[in-house]
Amino acid sequence: MNSSADPFVSFREVQKSYDGEILVVKNLNLDIAKGEFLTMLGPSGSGKSTCLMMLAGFEPATNGEIYLGGRPINKVPPHKRGIGMVFQNYALFPHMSVSENLAYPLQVRKMSGADVKAKVKRALDMVELGDFGDRRPAQLSGGQQQRVAVARALVFEPDLVLMDEPLGALDKQLREQMQYEIKHIHEQLGVTVVYVTHDQTEALTMSDRVAVFNDGVIQQLSTPDDLYERPQNAFVAQFIGENNTLSGTVEHIDGSKCTVKTDGGDTVIAEKVNVDKVGDRTTLSLRPERVELDPSSAMDDVLPGKIEELIYLGDHIRVRVDVAGNDEFIVKVRNRSDMRPLAAGQAVQIGWNSSDCKALDFTG
């Protein structure tokens, strides 16, 4: 990824309203570097696809300006923006062969026959479909059709490729395979990719950075590990990965730590993320894999709990525990040969380190 000072894509104070009253995108400011893989992640209606459509030119911005390569593009029609697009429904021409589908964007650009042939071959080889050029889309599997759609978006060598939920129609195994393939193609070509999905695993797997959208606003823009390990608010913590929450009130603040009295009556020490003062209500965030059942070593917080349910998943056991007033608290226990037998109704101790417990804004 190129980290030069000048962004390749830039949204400046961009707003979008469809009815003149409700803003589906609110004052968006976002810079994307050349060669970056940036994912816009969020629930349905959060504004992520609208941002992609404005960048593509299929939707006009209500206010603000979008820049591509340093030039404003609000008034540039879609076909003159030089952007590759991949959609969830593939959008292939059914009456054309695979090669003809790939040749179309090149012919529109008035390329010579020899150039067209060479570029089509290169694009098909890149997605490992070199022998499929004569087939029609209907003769291909869903995964193969999606590869053709990716190849068609890349065939004219654009500087920017936009992908809108491109793997949403595929089954789980194929989707995971395509995630790695798209990631590897991006690494090989160094093309800038803006990717939209509501699948947080997909975002974490593929991206250099992820912009988490909710209600038309970017809640956090970070690298995948930063989003998971250091969520900036309760929405991000809940949306990215699995998360346990406990509600409580801040009793004491000491630098980067705070003491919280949970609604269940227990006192815990947590990392202060976005609580300001004593008396603030807070949602504590804890990842299931950072919690220990019957902690052997000295941990900052140890609370009594009761096992409600055990779910066997092979490599680990999901243990649902009633702790600190929350009976949906999940602990992931690694499946080991020396582990003690566990049973529903059993009293246990639950422990974690305060650095893994984040005191966030209250969502009760």
CATH class of the domain defined by 244-360: mainly beta
pLDDT in the model for residue 173: 85
How many Å apart are CA 131 and CA 97, to the nearest integer? 12
Burial of 215: CB neighbours in 10 Å, binned 0-12, 13-18, 19+:
middle
∠256-260-264 over CA atoms, to 5°?
A: 155
pLDDT digits (tens, 9 = 90+) for 52-101: 999 999 999 999 999 999 999 999 999 889 899 988 777 889 999 999 99
Hey, what long-range contacts does 171-176 have (CB within 8 A, 24 or more apart)?
171/142, 174/142, 174/143, 175/202, 176/205
CA 304, 305, 306, 311: dihedral to nearest 10 degrees? -140
- Candidates 225, 237, 357; CA nearest to 299 is 357
∠92-40-275 over CA atoms, to 5°?
A: 165
- Candidates 71, 79, 60; CA nearest to 15 is 60
Q: Which CATH superfamily is domain 9-234 in?
A: P-loop containing nucleotide triphosphate hydrolases (3.40.50.300)
pLDDT in the model for residue 341: 85
Phi then psi dihedrals of residue 179, to 5 deg: -55, -50
How many Å apart are CA 331 and CA 317, to the nearest integer? 8
Residues shown for the chain:
364
Domain spans in the chain, listed from the N-terminal domain onward? 9-234, 244-360
pLDDT digits (tens, 9 = 90+) for 189-221: 899 999 999 999 999 999 999 999 999 999 999
